[in-house]
Amino acid sequence: MSTHHVIIRIAGQGQFKVNSEILDKINEIDNSIVDLIENVSLGSSDHKVTQKELQSKLTEMKNLITSNGEPIDDKEIIESDVIVPDSDLSIEDASKIFKEEGIISDD
Partner 1 sequence: MGLLNRFHSIFKAKAHSVADRFEDPNEMLNYSFEKQHELINKLRRDITQVVTSKKRLEMQKAKLSTNIDTLEQQARRSLESNREDLARVALERKNMLITQIKELERHIGDVEKEQIKLENAERRLSTKIDEFKTRKEMIKAQYSAAEAQVKIKENVTGISEEMNDLGMVLNRVEEKTENMKAKASALDEMVDSGVLTDVTQSYSSGSTDIDQELDKVSLDSSVDQELTKLKAQIGKT
Residues 30-89 that bind partner 1 (CB under 8 A): 30-31, 33-34, 37, 74-80, 82-85
Per rule CB under 8 A, is residue 24 in the interface with partner 1? Answer: no
Nearest of 60, 53, 62 to residue 91 by alpha carbon: 53
User: Nearest distance from residue 5's CB to partner 1, in Å?
Assistant: 16
Binding residues for partner 1, rule: CB under 8 A, are 9, 11-14, 26-27, 30-31, 33-34, 37, 74-80, 82-85, 94, 97-98, 100, 102-105, 107
